[in-house]
Amino acid sequence: MINSPLGIIGYPIGHSISPRFQQAALDHLGVDHGYQPYEVHPDRVADFVASLRDDTVLGINVTVPHKEAVMPFLDEIDEWAAEAGAVNTIVNRDGRLVGYNTDGYGFLRALRESAGLDPAGKRALILGAGGSARGVVQALLRAGVAELAIANRTLERAQALAELADNRGVPARAIELNALQSDGFDGQTDLIVNCTSLGMHHGPDEAASPMAASQIPPAALVYDLVYNPMLTPLLREAHSAGAPTLGGISMLVYQGAASFELWLERPAPVSVMMDAAMSAMREREAQAQ
């Protein structure tokens, strides 16, 4: 059961830095609410969501593995969440629970504000075809991307995402990740987005980069969704290639800022949240050494 006005559920949840930067935002604005992490076993999700209807609760964030599981227990699902098939924010509106997905919005806002790139009319190469890749592709389609290439270990999943783009009238091709160079990627792209979990701390292969420096065009922005570590193997390769880069912290903070604005109905102090997120990550990295 929830016992704070705001929080985040996941399983496990200890890794999440959302409590750090959300609490920093609340404290900065003098809002007397707690934002707590809740480790909720998959069997307990229905009960936990039911407890959000209490009038002391504003809402929660939802992270892995509950983003799809919470959906049947909500009263309303917004358009972005329905399209993504996943909810990362729940708002309690007088006992009615509304599900949102702010990941795509956070991805785009980070791209535009932290890297200064508007994807309208641009070409993008997406690495990965899992949950985050789906959200990124949908966000780029909404933003008017001109052309997509999707590279994934499992080709069929890349093909399904490419089809989604094609159906919206945006030319898209699917490529096998480990055959990027030989299999149709000509280096012609303005943006490369890593949506695989390669390079992620405690992920499938911490040391691996989905692309080598020699494959990265120096003019393309390399955007890694992985934020732990902050300097990922892909970002190192991009630096060697001389390409501009953007790490995943910025998206994490902007998706959280959008959640904050849905709950509190006031502007989120983004720079306070960014500073708190960066210092939380630096502490984690120092502890891991």
Ligand X SMILES: NC(=O)c1ccc[n+]([C@@H]2O[C@H](COP(=O)([O-])OP(=O)(O)OC[C@H]3O[C@@H](n4cnc5c(N)ncnc54)[C@H](OP(=O)(O)O)[C@@H]3O)[C@@H](O)[C@H]2O)c1
Least Cβ distance, residue 167 to ligand X (angstroms):
20
Going residue by residue from 94 to 123, which x/- string records binding to ligand X, judged by CB under 6 A? ---------x--------------------
Cα(89)–Cα(63) distance, rounded to whole angstroms?
Answer: 9
Give SS3 for 244: coil
Backbone angles phi, psi at 195, to 5 degrees: -115, 15
Task: Give residues 262-281 in contact with ligand X (rule: CB under 6 A).
Answer: none
The residue from 39, 47, 205, 261 that contacts ligand X (CB under 6 A) is 205
Look up residue 241 and give its two tokens: 């290639």
Nearer to ligand X by C-beta: 24 or 252?
252
Least Cβ distance, residue 87 to ligand X (angstroms):
13
The residue from 89, 101, 189, 196 that contacts ligand X (CB under 6 A) is 196
Quick one: which of 72, 92, 91, 96 has its CA closest to 82?
Answer: 72
Cα(201)–Cα(207) distance, rounded to whole angstroms?
Answer: 9
The residue from 21, 35, 105, 227 that contacts ligand X (CB under 6 A) is 227
The residue from 170, 200, 235, 238 that contacts ligand X (CB under 6 A) is 200
Q: Cβ neighbours of residue 17 under 8 Å, at least 6 residues apart?
A: 252, 277, 280, 281, 284
Look up residue 167 and give its two tokens: 């159906």
Cα(192)–Cα(257) distance, rounded to whole angstroms?
Answer: 24
Stretch near ligand X under the rule CB under 6 A, chosen from 181-189, 202-210, 238-246, 263-271: 202-210
Specify whether 67 is catalytic: yes
Residues that bind ligand X (CB under 6 A): 103, 128-133, 152-154, 157, 177, 195-198, 200, 203-205, 225-227, 248, 251-252, 255
- Active-site residue list: 67
